[in-house]
């Protein structure tokens, strides 16, 4: 059994070690920004998902777009629309703190003529831009 003085020395060393570790952790974590995470991040590397230029059949050479629903997790074959989505991922709101405030002088509400577009929820895969049936622009 250790003497009282030996036990005090052990405890002082342990306190010193823990204090040093705490200072190290604090220096590496305090005042640091927490990186955003995504629930779909682990399912597929989003950098490989690109809008496709259907006139050439080639994808554009910039980073992936936001995945809004489960049908955008897989690239459909060229000139094919993805399946109708079942589950949405990026539910969001708009305020000055999330998604950006909707400015009443800059909002545009558009009604499209859908024609051959069957999947309205995946605009990155539309083969052509639908025609605008009606448009309300609050800027006018």
Q: Which residue has the higher pLDDT, 27 or 18?
A: 18
Give the model's pLDDT for residue 16.
93
Share of the chain above pLDDT 70, in %: 72
User: Which long-range CB contacts under 8 A does 103-108 form with residues at least 24 apart?
Assistant: 104/138, 105/138, 105/139, 106/138, 106/139, 107/137, 107/138, 108/135, 108/136, 108/137, 108/138, 108/139
27-67 tens-digit pLDDT: 777 666 666 665 554 555 545 545 555 455 454 444 556 77
Mean pLDDT of 85-109: 81
Answer yes or no: is pLDDT of 7 > 90: yes
């Amino acid at each position: 059994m250790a003497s009282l003085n030996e036990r005090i020395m052990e405890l002082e060393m342990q306190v010193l070690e823990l204090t040093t570790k705490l200072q190290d952790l604090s220096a590496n974590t305090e005042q640091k920004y927490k990186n955003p995470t995504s629930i779909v991040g682990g399912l597929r590397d989003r950098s490989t998902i690109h809008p496709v230029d259907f006139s050439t059949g080639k994808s554009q050479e910039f980073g992936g777009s936001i995945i809004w629903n489960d049908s955008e997790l897989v690239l459909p074959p060229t000139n094919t629309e993805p399946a109708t989505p079942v589950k949405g991922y990026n539910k969001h709101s708009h305020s000055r703190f999330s998604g950006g405030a909707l400015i009443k002088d800059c909002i545009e509400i558009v009604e499209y003529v859908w024609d051959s577009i069957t999947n309205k929820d995946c605009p990155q895969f539309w083969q052509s831009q639908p025609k605008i049936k009606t448009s309300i622009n609050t800027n006018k």
